[in-house]
Structure 1
């Protein structure tokens, strides 16, 4: 049974992931229809919705109706990083179960064993995954490390770019994301930027190198940190956090990227 579930072949367990950037209304409508059927093998049908914070507004409203009166014999499991990103009416109808993030060492061991990564590669992914084994495994399968290397090079140049050039880069990313030409979308890009500015803040606050996520770029981070003061970096981290929420809330990608670039350039002005 466990192997069938892992292979998404068990008839009474259904996994629902975002279709692209979002969980769309069509997925929720299909779910609602499927819930009307009785379980085929066990006593219950289990549906696991992952990254529920990526529901569109209409999807969330349609799903709320299902939550209010779920058909008998069904168990709905919602996976979300931050419950505050969901409609309060959805959260209030769920029993919350909190999971502690896995230690990077445990994730690294699994990546080396299952994916054949080196210890250095595995630890990079483990730290970026922020305690999520599933996220780390996904990153190991889609050239994330090469993509990250390219993006970090861009981040290092970013502080010195004129505003117009920085804005054009942001629009280019937004356009590629909408065409789905990138293996890693804007959400991954903003996540990477967040880890970078978080590390700059840690260095500026004289934290231990062991606290850094991008530990393989310590010299570059130390050189860049000289350009900022702590309030500027706090402002940048808060702006990136808001940009991630805006993107998850289905704001226009061009506007989200334009806004975050303006905020980061403003926060990074000379002091």
Structure 2
């Protein structure tokens, strides 16, 4: 995955790219594809690259000769390729959340567009960015297109998990799973495309969980400050008696006050707890490599069972917040479970 277009520019997603190229060579593209995987692993870029390949004049002329998969890619030079690369093609449609939701009005407008023939594309492509943000009404409205796909039209939905969408939507799509990027791949992208120094790139790559987008966030000094705050707090809690709930509730209050970043903060907590589990087994697999010594010390004073219970508490809080539960109540419940109160 890089900032340019075309299959050749996408890093670390060999299996999805191979499957898409097979569709192109055989001429058997499904009418709807569902790209699943974490944010920042190349799903949207791949959707754009596939749209280019579907409409590339040069590739279209070559496909009857059934070229090897390695030779199948958009040329990047013909008119359709240039328009799609510049986001100016009238038949490549992007549907993205307005604020935080894809609304039914957007789907209704799309249905009107799809009732007409494509303007100029060999294959019109509609890319749904973050399809999990469709509200139920929008998802149900989309079923009409999935059940009766318009001629020469391909739908590509991108989301983290198939379970985030209506089952009726998922069942009508061909799912393609995207893997997290390797640490080395992310570090290489950071140094080559974002001009990040190697040491910073390696640290961000180790912490990002295989997401290039997240790695870019981790480089920000403000994120590093939040990361330091969370780790300091978690180390302090490890030394507190389990009955001291006041500090935990104060921590919950501070988390809730950062509503726009709370999921990010919970992810930092999860990474720290995961490292405490891992450090005694294989220290090389620790994400916070610069904290290996303190991780080893803290891990000696906490049981694996307690760590797993704490990770479960954080995961439950994440799910509740995504379901729009009240942040302070959810986080209070989380820290009470993490502290082991009432057990």
- Do the two structures share a fold, i.e. TM-score over 0.5? yes
Distance 1:165 1:11, change over 3 A: farther
| More moved, 124-133 vs 111-120 | 124-133
1:186 to 253, 262, 266: 262
Cα distance in 1, alignment partners of residues 254 and 305 from structure 2:
29
Figure out how many residues of one structure are paired with residues of the other and give that number: 261
**Is 2:256 aligned against 1:174?**
yes
Q: Which residue of 2 aligns with 1:240?
A: 314
RMSD: 3.3
1:103 to 170, 173, 182: 182
Q: Which residue of 2 aligns with 1:12?
A: 91
Cα distance in 2, alignment partners of residues 223 and 242 from structure 1:
27
Distance 1:194 1:245, change over 3 A: same
Q: Which residue of 2 aligns with 1:40?
A: 119
Q: Gaps spanning 5+ residues in structure 1: where?
A: none
Q: Which residue of 2 aligns with 1:120?
A: 199
- The answer to whether the 8 A contact 1:54-1:248 is kept is no
Render the CA deviation track for 1:73-117: whole Å, top value 9, x for unaligned.
432212223223333222211111122322110111110122222
Q: Which residue of 2 aligns with 1:163?
A: 245
Distance 1:222 1:258, change over 3 A: same
Cα distance in 1, alignment partners of residues 134 and 198 from structure 2:
36
Cα distance in 2, alignment partners of residues 131 and 146 from structure 1:
21
- The answer to whether the 8 A contact 2:226-2:265 is kept is no
Q: Displacement of 1:25 after TM fit? A: 4.8
Q: Displacement of 1:230 after TM fit? A: 0.9
Q: Gaps spanning 5+ residues in structure 2: where?
A: 1-79
Distance 1:215 1:173, change over 3 A: same
Distance 1:115 1:195, change over 3 A: same
Q: Displacement of 1:195 after TM fit? A: 1.2
Q: Which residue of 1 aligns with 2:13?
A: none
Distance 1:262 1:65, change over 3 A: farther
Render the CA deviation track for 1:114-173: whole Å, top value 9, x for unaligned.
222222321232233322334434555685334433333333334449423433432443
Task: Compute the TM-score of the two structures, normalised by the length of structure 2.
Answer: 0.64
Q: Displacement of 1:48 after TM fit? A: 2.3
- The answer to whether the 8 A contact 2:200-2:219 is kept is no
Distance 1:109 1:71, change over 3 A: same
> Which segments of structure 1 move beyond 6 Å, counting only runs of 4 or more?
none
Task: Compute the TM-score of the two structures, normalised by the length of structure 1.
Answer: 0.78
Cα distance in 1, alignment partners of residues 221 and 114 from structure 2:
33
Distance 1:33 1:21, change over 3 A: same
Name the structure, 1 or 2, with higher relative contact order (CA <8 Å, separation 6+). Answer: 2
Q: Which residue of 2 aligns with 1:253?
A: 327
Q: Displacement of 1:17 after TM fit? A: 4.3
| More moved, 95-104 vs 31-40 | 31-40
Q: Which residue of 2 aligns with 1:86?
A: 165
| More moved, 89-98 vs 160-169 | 160-169
Q: Displacement of 1:239 after TM fit? A: 2.4
